[in-house]
Amino acid sequence: MLLVTEAPLLLEYNDLIVAKVRANNAFGWGEYSLANTEGILTEQKPSSPSLAPILISQAETALTVEITAIEGVDTGGSEILSYNIQFKRDEDSTYVSIVGESSNNLQLTVSQ
């Protein structure tokens, strides 16, 4: 599919996009088609989760964390494929991934 636009489209999340088309030949331009009747909504990256993870339990060598699912408009208009959960100790400067960085992870409760 080739998409050529005369001006850049400045799309924002949840814009409804409706299109129509016409063709040109040696005799001139034909009439426009009917506009597509359903259109599509533009999508974007998911929003930052509104709630921080909840520490359910901790032991000397383990912890259990629960997160809230990202739903509705916060998904950016597309299905969530993975949650990446990270942790760090107060004295550490960098976070470490527990799950979900390189593979699909839809778990909302993780024990590590």
| Domain edges within the chain | 54-111
- 14-33 average pLDDT score: 84
Q: Where are the beta strands (DSSP E) in 36-91?
A: 40-41, 54-58, 63-66, 85-87
> Quick check: 5 pLDDT over 60?
no
The count of other CB atoms within 10 Å of the CB of residue 81 is: 11
> Quick check: 67 pLDDT over 80?
yes
Distance of CA 110 to the CA centre of its chain: 22
pLDDT band at 2 (very low <50, low <70, confident <90, very high): low
- Output the pLDDT for position 1: 52
CB 98 within 8 A of CB 84: no
> Quick check: 36 pLDDT over 70?
yes
CB 51 within 8 A of CB 63: no
pLDDT band at 45 (very low <50, low <70, confident <90, very high): confident
